[in-house]
Structure 1
Amino acid sequence: MKRIAQIMYLNKDKYQEYQTRHENLWPEMKQALQAHGATNYSIFLNKDNGELFAYLEVPDEKRYNEIAKTDVCKKWWHYMAPLMTTNEDESPKTLDLEELFHLK
Structure 2
Amino acid sequence: MQRYGMVIGVRPEKIDEYKQLHAAVWPDVLAMISACNIRNYSIFLKEPENLLFSFFEYHGEDYQADMAKMAADPKTQEWWSVCMPCQEPLETRGEGEWWATMEEVFFHA
| TM-score bracket relative to the smaller structure | 0.7 to 0.9
4+ residue stretches of structure 1 with deviation over 6 A? none
Please, which runs of 5 or more residues in structure 2 have no aligned partner?
Answer: 90-96
- Number of aligned pairs? 100
Worse overlay, 61-70 or 8-17: 61-70
Worse overlay, 70-79 or 30-39: 70-79
In structure 2, distance between residues paired with 1:84 and 1:103: 30
Instruction: State which of 55, 73, 82 in structure 2 corresponds to 1:79.
Output: 82
1:99 — aligned with what?
Answer: 104
Amino acid aligned to 2:75:
V
TM-score normalized with structure 1 length: 0.86
Coordinate RMSD, CA, aligned: 1.8
Q: Is the 8 A contact 1:42 1:54 kept in 2?
A: yes
Pair 1:65-2:70 in alignment = no
Q: Is the 8 A contact 1:38 1:56 kept in 2?
A: yes
TM-score normalized with structure 2 length: 0.83
Aligned residues with identical type, % of pairs: 25
Pair 1:9-2:2 in alignment = no
Shift of 1:19: 0.8
Please, which runs of 5 or more residues in structure 1 have no aligned partner?
Answer: 87-91
* Matches for 1:20-59 after TM superposition, within 5 Å: 20-59=20-59
In structure 2, distance between residues paired with 1:47 and 1:64: 32
In structure 1, distance between residues paired with 2:51 and 2:67: 22
Shift of 1:85: 2.2
In structure 2, distance between residues paired with 1:15 and 1:47: 10
Deviations 1:50-70 (A, max 9, x none): 110000011132343121121
